[in-house]
Amino acid sequence: MSAQILDGRHVAGEIESRLVRQIATLASEGIRPGLVAIRVGDDPASEIYVRNKARKAEELGLSGVELALPSRTSESSLLRELDRLNRDESVDGILVQLPLPSHIATETIIESIDPQKDVDGFHPSNVGRLHLGQPALTPCTPAGIIELIRSTGVAIRGLHAVVVGRSNIVGKPVAAMLLQSDATTTISHSRTADLGSITRQADILVAAAGRPLMIDASMIKPGSIVIDVGINRISDPATATTMLAHDQGKLETFNARGNVLVGDVDFGGAREIASWITPVPGGVGPMTIIMLMSNTVAAAMGRRR
């Protein structure tokens, strides 16, 4: 029996309905949460991401502002802009789209954002509070992963969760959140010896290593929940033929388009083993932006009440 699909769009829609009610309550009190999304330079992907975030904020009734700065913007100029936004009481959430141009120090910029407005959850203060189990604005993708797992109706408490990947953006924070939900949590990565022996113990498997199809069916525990965070594009025909042997749907997409997006998990094979699995795309991706909106609303409520 094939695994049930964890539809990120559906779960995000449920969260959006809850947010709309919260935003309406804030509006009745004369509060309109404000989000400012900043990008520096002309990277096409960053341009799309920032525009989509600002647009989604406006759709929900928030104030969404896209602030586009030229690539020649100096670090000091960006810091001055952030200082202005930190002091602006109409702004509840600030995010700076990464990556930044090489002449700007990412850590310096992140640390300059007011932690109470850090809706990406990257400020060291929020990172520290998360790992201490204290209230904090948490990174959006990990927060979305937890919501997806909860949407299955399976209690996290007491389960063994294995995270493949140790990034500061996904791997480490989602491991902390799983631990706080009373899962026994293991962090593994690309250098873990005999990775399959670890992943086969996972009641919950979060694949976030950024390596296409590195987790195959033999590495998955029967009946587990599989969350695939990877977004990898395959464009080589020989690679597609080999790697997509167990996923006829993806192979057909490749043949039609000349490329295809895949995750870190061999979906075709894993679907026959797991009880729940996220697709790529359409799984974790839609959760990230709605959790950003959720963080913005939480920031407004925390700062203004």
Catalytic residue ranges = 53, 97, 120
Which residue spans within 26-87 are E strands per DSSP?
34-40, 63-69
Q: Which residues contact 172 (CB under 8 A, 6 or more apart)?
A: 166, 187
CB count within 10 Å of CB 120 equals: 23
Contact call for residues 205 and 226 (beta carbons, < 8 A) = yes
Q: Which residues have a Cβ under 8 Å from the Cβ of 205 and sit 6 or more positions away?
A: 161, 162, 164, 199, 215, 220, 221, 224, 225, 226, 227, 274
Q: Pairing mode, if any, of strands 260-262 and 232-234?
A: antiparallel
Q: Distance (Å, rounded) from C-alpha 171 to C-alpha 167?
A: 5
Cis peptide before 279 (omega within 30 of 0): no
Report d(CA 206, CA 145) in Å as an integer.
8
Distance of alpha carbon 89 from alpha carbon 202, whole angstroms: 45
